[in-house]
Each structure stands twice: as structure tokens, then as C-alpha cells.
Amino acid sequence: MIPVLLEGDPEVAVVQRLFEAAGLEMGTVYGGRGKSWLDQRLPAYNHAARHGRWFVLRDLDGDADCAPALVAKILPVQADGMCLRVAVHALESWLLADRERIADFLSVPLSRIPHDPDMIRYPKQVMVNLARQSRRRAIREDMVPAEGISAQVGPGYSARIIEFAATLWRPNVARTLSLSLAGCMTALDGWER
């Protein structure tokens, strides 16, 4: 069982699916308190990775020009057991890369789903905008913030992202459109069972 360090709750469902695809067993989940918390504690978890495997997933979120630059900034020297991966630009880009399933889930035409999700600077906003166009009222109410409030997402956004990732998302399909997801899956595939 491999322990994981994550930014938030939606990542748990995504990493579970990635581990299933790689034939790995996910262990205890740490974090869930955002990227600042993760970044501050990453050196300690890297130290632990000298004695066993650890998987860490973080969003790029514009904190560097590219994933390698972010890794060099937050963890320049990785322990042998550390697998730090960066979703470009955010986790939602990996979910958008399964175009057919996300279109069905959001009840929007497939033609509205982007073809190159890693190039989307703000994939969470794209996800919310797609939900805004949904034919399903429940999707709109859950994922889209109400008018006049400052929230970026609706009250059920995370729950809907978790639902999609846990039940419908196909990482092996999505990896064909997302280079950052493909890199993550290749790294996991390279771990000995």
C-alpha cells in the first residue's frame, strides 16, 4: 500500500482510479488542505520517501511556467521512493481529457469539450462554464455558483467532480489527450508491484 499526499478531496478519487489502472494499492491519504499546506510539508514527506514509496499529486495552477519548473521549485531533490506528479494546469484538465464521458456527465454536446485540455490555463473555470450549459438542472445547481456571490464554483462542485472521477472517468482514455496525465500514469506503471 502506497501512501499519498494530495491537495484536496477530489484528488482522492482521481488517484484511486490511477492506482487501479496501474495495479497499485492506495494507502493512507494525507493532506487535503490545499497546495500551500502541501508545499510546506513536502520536504518531510520526501524524507519519509527514503524508506518507502510515496505518491504526491499537485496542480500547476500557474505557480510556474511548466511542471518541471514547479517540481524544481518545491522539491528540487526527490528521494528514491518519491513520485511527485503535477496536473497541468489543474486536475480538471485530466477529467476533461475523457471527452465523451465528461460530455455525457455534464449533459453538454461533445463538440463543446476541448481537444487539448493541458493547454487550458483555467480548467476549473472551463468545467464550471460547461456545467452552466448543462441540460440537467441538478448539474447547473451543484457546479455553477449562484449569481451575485464571489465563489468560483457551486456548492456541490467537489461532490460532482468526485462522483465523475470515481464512477465514470477512464484514465487510460484520458491519457491520450493529456500529456501530464500520460506522464503520471507512465511513472506509476514503472513502479514495481
Q: Which of 110, 108, 90, 86 is nearest to 98 (CA)?
A: 110
Encoded amino acid at 90, one letter: A
Q: Are residues 140 and 183 in the same domain?
A: no
Residue 192 has pLDDT above 80, yes or no: no
Give the CA distances from residue 143 to residues 13, 58, 156, 173, in Å, rounded to whole numbers and listed in that order: 17, 22, 6, 24
Region 161-178: what's the mean pLDDT?
98
Q: Are residues 75 and 135 in the same domain?
A: no
Quote the number of domains for the chain. 2
148 falls in which pLDDT band (50, 70, 90)?
Answer: confident
For residue 82, the cross-strand partners are: 54
Q: Are residues 113 and 135 in the same domain?
A: yes
Q: What is the residue range of 63's domain?
A: 2-92+173-189
- Round to whole Å and give the CA distance between 102 and 127: 9
Q: Are residues 139 and 83 in the same domain?
A: no
- Round to whole Å and give the CA distance between 11 and 29: 10
Q: Are residues 72 and 100 in the same domain?
A: no
For 55-112, what is each residue's pLDDT tens digit? 999 999 999 999 999 999 999 999 999 999 999 999 999 999 999 999 999 999 999 9
Q: Are residues 88 and 98 in the same domain?
A: no
The residue whose grid cell reads 527514503 is 50
- Round to whole Å and give the CA distance between 40 and 113: 35
